[in-house]
Structure 1
Amino acid sequence: MIDTGRIPLAGETLAWYRQGLAAATSGQLEKAAALYNKVIAARSDFWEAWYERGLVLEDLGLYAAAIASYDQALELEPARDACSEIHYHQAQAHHYGLGDYSAALQEYDRVLQLRPNHTQALLHRGNVLLYGLHQAEAALDSYDRALTYQTDLFEAWRNRGSALLDLEQHQAALISYDRAILLNPNDEVAEQGRQLARNSLNLNASSETTTNIAEINQAGFDPSLTDPSLMDVVPHRNTRLDDYVTSQPVLQPLLVLEDEVGRREVYLFQRQYTIGRDPHNDIHLQSRFISRFHAVFQRVDDPDNQQYWYQIQDGDLAGKPSTNGVQVNGKPQQIRLLQSGDVISFGPQSRATYWMR
């Protein structure tokens, strides 16, 4: 028997659940849905099965059924962090599946009530306001909020530029598009938006992009919310962008990740990363043996030496431990300041090596 969440499973019910996870990971969505149905028939009080079933139904394009499955999961009162992710998926199904923008906005706001720093919820909340409900000013506030938590969020810079274009703030839009292009030089949408802003300002195509943070601040980056109805959703901040920009360190932290799909490298610079098998983690590992939200990497700054490191902590942002735990160099760890060369194991076939380069 293992504890996969709030309720333990055993025997064939546990086997069905594991098989469902494996089928979903390999893209066998109908098979996964059928296996989750068997788990639910045996243990209707196991919210994880309702949630995983919802994910599969959403991937199959059965959005109304997915939302109903998420509703069932929420009725079983999972932990706060899990609730935020379920509401997030409900919002996505309403937003991009059913095109019900008002319902999507309500769900994004519920996510932010539970987890104010959920950058993807803030980003997509901005998208539903801008492209669905045509509320550019409110969308701009949402993108600004996302950027206070993650300054390298390319889509927020790009879509922020589009909101500013709608508001006819062309200089600010140009700077926002420039920032997006610095993060993703090959994005055609950002380049097209940038050209529209330039045309409105009568600038020629050869001018360089803006990289000066002071100019970006002057161009209207204001992370504070102006909509009083949202003051309880996200804490009010009066923060400038340069408060969130870190200078290049002497040594750059790097994770070399290995999971069921192969090997890849991720350079670390954000203040915090979540890692796990749920695709909405900052770092997504594909393995049925690890928890949805398995661990958190937190940055430790040393400004005197222009350097930062990372520590790893087992569990999700709410403090719930992972099922299999975290091992560093073969020893179980609840929290550890990482050293270059440390090997982090999350479960079978899922590990990372931490380097300072």
Structure 2
Amino acid sequence: MHQLLSSQPDDQAAFSSAVSQASALMGAGHYQEAIDLLLSWSDAVRRHPAACSTLAFLMLQTGKTQEAVNWFEAAMVVSPGDPQVIRGLGQACHANGEFERALSCYAMILASGQGDKVDLTYRRALLLADMKRFDEALEGFGAVLALDPQHALAEGKRIELLKARGDMDGAIAAASESCKTRPKNAACWIRLGTLLQHCNQNAAALLAYDRGLTLAPDDFTALYNKALALRDLDRPEEALFCAQQALRLDGSDREVLLLCGSIEQMLGNVEAAKICFRQVAAMGAARHYPAATQPAKLHALMLFSPVGGNTPYEDLIKGAPFDADLFVVIPGYSHDPAKLDIGADIIVNLVAEPDRGLDTIDATREMVDLLSLPVVNHPTLIAGTNRESIAELLADLPNAVMPVTKKVMPADLVAAVRRSEAPPLPVIVRQSGFHGGEMMELVADADTLVAFAGEAGDQSLYLTHYVDYSSKDGHFRKYRFIFVGGEILPYHLAIGDVWKVHHASTRMAEIEWMRHEEEDFLNHPERYFGERQMAVLAEIQRRVGLDYFGIDCGLDHDGNVVIFEVNATMLIHLRNKGFEYKDPHVYAIKRAFERMLQARVEQSRAAS
């Protein structure tokens, strides 16, 4: 074919034929072939307005953003002032990261009064959101809705932006308004349910999901999220029915299989739960978390057991600079080594609760042994972190109070009480494998102790000597530090009126001085834990030997560190509404975790 279009009729006919062929290729979805054909007539295309614009849009559609910009510029030469070309150039510049230029393009057309005002206003708002000019973007989406109240995309983006900015009340109000505007639209109700569920308003979320499911009975997202809400409302039978409905729609969805398994487990259907979990394990990675920015600094293989206790990891790795793949560990199931060979640089073991079954720890160790990679929180070390073992490990720690802790079976405890061999009272008794104050009481008499043991069934118990750690003002203070590699970082201070202190159950949200004290502790931990106390924490870190774990502790009147709990199941999170001063310290822990992974990978590479 000729590269130039001459004045000869045959050349004009050939070019027209090429343009027609390109149009047919586009219609059939063969975009690259259409591009190649038009490029073979590139000089002629540059002089033909429609062909030049078509090639530019083809480049944009196939993700060739810089080429799209170049061809739209060429189209501007032959079609100056064409609103479609200017709009296309704006889209191409936006996609290519030339935000200011894209904004100028949209402003030019809007000022001229040409083009589709609704579409241009919407695209401008999208651009402003990507430029992080969020207030202007919200105004822009509002302007679109003022022009076209039924503009579903603008409505959705506005709600999405409100949510991303943390304005959940605004997002919920906007979603509620969309349900009033379009009451027959299932997507509006389902979106409202999702927002309510995000705010733990599960009962209200259920009402929204039910309205959505009335309109779209087979909506997978609504069924799955409704099952989650029912589970969280402690309605497991209904939750399982709903999850199984979702599973019938997509039997290979890993998340719904994990949900079905977790609910079966709640209901005591252990074998049914394991069937679900094995199905997920057989699929390879259960979840993939891409790095926030690419290329990723490293690739982590994370081991998680749905039948055991795990290190809470979601907020720990959210927005991280590394890729991560989550694999499920199930006792009795052996992974195919080929499926584990995903090019990972490091293993992060999340299985962290030895009281949920040493067989799970053993299965995790078997998986670790399949791969020659550095391991964070090796399963062998996790096996020694049950409460009784930790109490023995730290019993002789100077400047610390490690309450004696013993593990017993309920029947043995009842027999001991009947023989008048009960432990000294009062005593803290708890069911093994539970954290966060669940299944735990301070017992002052033998009858109550026997009753607690009776309710435990076959679940083993821990008996812990009670230490009065109240401060001089009568309040109880529980400090949490997180150990990451060689660092010791403060996470929170919970101040309560009673001995059982958990941050979420205190009155700190209502009492300003308590929040000020926690903020001061986080910013200046040395004011509370001096050299003597920090030396205690450093020795705990050395003896325990884990790469990542936490401690809950107090201080007695003599300044000794009173140790409550030391393990790798400690929670850190970014849901700190009303306690926003905590966020920088969560991020400090996240960054320390990332540094630790990077250092371990570099050490491994240097040694190989």
Give the TM-score band, short-chain normalised: 0.3 to 0.5
Q: TM-score, normalised by structure 1?
A: 0.48
Q: Which has the higher contact order (CA 8 A, sep 6+)?
A: 1
User: Quick check: which has more Rg, 1 or 2?
Assistant: 2
Q: TM-score, normalised by structure 2?
A: 0.29
